[in-house]
């Protein structure tokens, strides 16, 4: 519990240091600041409470959406890459299965020492 509280205090101190540094900075992006970072922060909080216009859904079929967003380039994965990946996995599973089966049969063939 003390670790969580310590981390929270460190995070709050770090956030405070960033706000203080931004507040003391005379310029932002090479241009003089019109308002202090604190005023901008508070303005953003006030603006967040303002009502937001409702979003109107657009009915588009999947085919239309994919056709309009297609850039004509290669897909993320090609059929060759997928089949090579499946081949590697298949080989890995086969080797692992053979080794496990061999290990189990060798363990069964060893007799337990007499007590």
Mean pLDDT by 10 residues, the chain (115 residues): 92 89 65 70 74 82 85 77 91 82 64 57
Confidence (pLDDT) at 8: 95
What residue ranges do the domains of the chain occupy?
A: 15-25+32-49, 77-109
Please, what sign has the CA dihedral across residues 26, 30, 31, 33?
negative
Q: What predicted TM-score, i.e. pTM, was given to this entire model?
A: 0.28
Confidence (pLDDT) at 41: 78
Q: For residue 97, what are the CA distances in angstroms to 17, 94, 103?
A: 56, 5, 10
Confidence (pLDDT) at 48: 67
Confidence (pLDDT) at 13: 95
Q: Which two tokens stand for residue 13?
A: 């101190």
Query: What is the three-class DSSP state of 28?
Result: strand
Confidence (pLDDT) at 98: 76
Confidence (pLDDT) at 33: 62
Q: Which two tokens stand for residue 56?
A: 């109107």
Confidence (pLDDT) at 11: 95
């Amino acid at each position: 519990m003390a670790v969580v509280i310590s981390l929270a205090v460190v995070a709050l101190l770090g956030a405070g240091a960033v706000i203080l540094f931004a507040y003391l900075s005379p310029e932002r992006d090479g241009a003089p600041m019109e308002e202090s970072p604190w005023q901008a922060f508070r303005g953003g909080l006030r603006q967040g409470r303002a009502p937001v216009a409702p979003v109107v859904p657009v009915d588009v079929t999947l085919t239309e959406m994919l056709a309009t967003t297609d850039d004509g380039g290669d897909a993320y994965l090609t059929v060759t890459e997928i089949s090579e990946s499946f081949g590697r996995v298949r080989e890995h599973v086969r080797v692992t299965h053979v080794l496990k089966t061999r290990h189990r049969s060798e363990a069964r063939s060893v007799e337990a020492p007499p007590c």
